[in-house]
Amino acid sequence: MALIRVAALGFVVLSVIYVLLSFSARAAFRRKLRREWDDERPTQDRDAFVKQGMEDYDASIRPKLFLGVYILPVCVVILMIYLTNFQ
């Protein structure tokens, strides 16, 4: 029962970290796009430029790398348990 509680708490903490990182990265990329539009003044309007840039961002691998927030800690914990019990 304690293992389930710890796993649930870990999942909640990692989910909060994932959401914070995701919002932070999207906001930073959106600021970068707006600055880029201000510097270059492309032919399309600012909102369309930012929207297209965010669609490209969503299709890239970068947002998917945040899944490492879940995978890496779980692998480290499993490795620690293995090394503690079987070495």
Instruction: Tell me the pLDDT tens digit for each residue of 2-42.
Output: 888 988 999 999 999 989 988 999 999 999 999 999 888 77
Q: How many domains does the chain have?
A: 1
Q: How far apart are CA 55 and CA 59, in angstroms?
A: 6
**Radius of gyration over alpha carbons of the chain, in Å?**
19
Whether residue 5 lies inside any domain: the answer is no
**Phi/psi-derived region of residue 41, left when phi > 0, alpha when psi is between -120 and 50, beta in every other case:** left
Whether residue 58 lies inside any domain: the answer is yes
Whether residue 14 lies inside any domain: the answer is no
What pTM value is reported for the model?
0.76
Whether residue 3 lies inside any domain: the answer is no
Residues in the chain: 87
Q: Which amino acid type is present at position 59?
A: A
Q: Where in the sequence is the domain holding 53, given as residue range(s)?
A: 19-86
Whether residue 62 lies inside any domain: the answer is yes
Return the sign of the alpha-carbon dihedral for residues 29, 34, 38, 42.
positive
